[in-house]
Amino acid sequence: MRVPQPFDRDEGLVLARGMAYDVLLEVNFQRSTVDCSTIIVKQGAAVVKVWEPGQRGDMSDLPSLQPLPTAAERAADVIRENVFEGRFAPGTPLPEAALSAALQISRNTVREAFRTLTAEHLLTHEPHKGVMVRELTTDDVHDIYKLRRMFELSAFDLAIETQQKLDVTEIGKAVAEAELLASDGRWLEVGTENLRFHEVIVGIHRSARVSEVFRRLMTELRLGFLAVSDPAAFHGAFLARNRTIHGSTVRGDLRDAQAELAAYLVDAENLVVKAIQG
């Protein structure tokens, strides 16, 4: 490959964009003459192909690249993350024009993001009011907790019946971070760490799909948490139970941890339903 112009440095790297990959030419610059000694094909930070001098390159074995997220997908991610972290409460209006200006995207792109999040049960559209963050129903809560039991209790079954192990270090970090936030009275953030605590448990499935589905489930559940009138009492009680579950897991008492989690989920479901019913 030729470099069409001279360079005034002694040595360095030239980056050439290919059709679907990046090619790095390792070159020596000597009096504006380029000697290409090695061609390296990279995907992100990982080297996926190296051709030495004189080696013929077979383009057929180049890796396929993951498509970049669209503007609408990135906008949906921003809104979704704000719901997950409790910044967008149920009933919060999301004006299309304001979001378009804030995210510097077109209004059509905002509408596309709205459609995605409406399908995920996070947003709703009401005539004459526009799009807003959705309020959960009691049926929603029952469905969410039914799925939570499937994902979370089976995580302990997996740990008990196979060689896979729960990440007790990460579970402990989530509990410790929540306890620190609680000591500062930052209960909204305690709720976020509580959700992450459960994500770590589900992580034992070693499945990107399971983790993604569970994350979206927890994002929807956050709308139920925000209906609770006393977050300190709600999250404080479950924070202590998270510590109990972590302690049992560290000791290897996985059946005890699973039993505590099962009772925990029943109690949490009842409290969220009560909060939604007012």
- CATH topology match: 71-133 vs 138-277: no
* Alpha-carbon span 166 to 168, nearest angstrom: 6
Domain ranges of the chain: 11-53, 71-133, 138-277
Residue 199 confidence (pLDDT) above 60: yes
* Alpha-carbon span 62 to 50, nearest angstrom: 11
Query: What topology is assigned to 71-133 in CATH?
Result: Arc Repressor Mutant, subunit A (1.10.10)
User: If you average pLDDT over every residue of the chain, what do you get?
Assistant: 83
* Alpha-carbon span 140 to 123, nearest angstrom: 14
* Alpha-carbon span 74 to 79, nearest angstrom: 9
Tens of pLDDT, residues 55-111: 555 666 677 777 888 999 999 999 999 999 999 999 999 999 999 999 999 999 999
Residue type, 204: I
Tens of pLDDT, residues 239-257: 999 999 999 999 999 999 9
Q: Which CATH architecture has domain 138-277?
A: Up-down Bundle (1.20)
CB atoms within 10 A of CB 103: 16
Residue 24 corresponds to which tokens in the numbers above? 């790095």
Reported as type and span, the H/E element at residue 48 is: strand 46-51
For the full predicted model, state whether its pTM sits above 0.85. Answer: no
